Amino acid sequence: IGPGSICTTRIVAGVGVPQLTAIMDVVEAARKTDTPVIADGGIKFSGDLAKAIAAGADCAMLGSLFAGTEESPGEVFLFQGRSYKAYRGMGSVGAMAVGSADRYFQQDVKDSLKLVPEGIEGQVPYKGPVGTVIHQLVGGLRAAMGYTGNATVKDFQKNAEFVRISSASLRESHVHDVTITREAPNYPGGAS
């Protein structure tokens, strides 16, 4: 169980592992039966997608990245002068109350106050057409493959090397020591 942006299972149930570990463990087991692997959760940037693919995932679920797009369900609304769309996890009280409780072994709970949610309801910035988001994701994946000298996904996965970094290294990987005056389409301000 990985780190989906709206998932609280790792905190509520104390179960789960970091996303890269989850992918690598599942890939090791899935390859024995030639079963495709889907990375699910924790992908905020194109670089996260590149790492998931390099670790062996065949594809990825990108819920929060697509939730704010024009094509996702729900209306665009204004909040403090910016456009947003609602986004909720299948383990949220709202989703469980209308049918997803069985996924969490709570299908017999009739009182919503007695549900034990493993997700939240929130909002994500509106991002416009999904094609724009996909273009940035593909561009980031191509850049990762280029920087690492891999022309194919198969080579990218075969040659992948990972380095454990500290929280300080993660902070320095993000924009720092400046105020963003114009957001990039693949890096929203305040992302670190």
pLDDT confidence tier of residue 192, bands split at 50, 70 and 90: very low
* Structural domains in the chain, sorted by start: 9-173 (3.20.20.70)
73 contact partners, CB below 8 Å, separation of at least 6 = none
* pLDDT score for 101: 59
Amino acid at 36: P
Tens of pLDDT, residue by residue over 112-149, are 666 778 888 999 999 999 999 999 999 999 999 999 99
What are the φ and ψ backbone dihedral angles of 78, each rounded to 5 degrees? Answer: -95, 135
Tens of pLDDT, residue by residue over 51-81, are 999 999 999 999 999 999 999 999 999 999 9
Give the length of the chain.
192
Is pTM, for the whole model, over 0.85? yes
Nearest to 3 by CA among 61, 47, 66: 61
Tens of pLDDT, residue by residue over 19-32, are 999 999 999 999 99
Q: Are 89 and 95 in contact (CB under 8 A)?
A: yes
User: What is the set of active-site residues?
Assistant: 7, 103
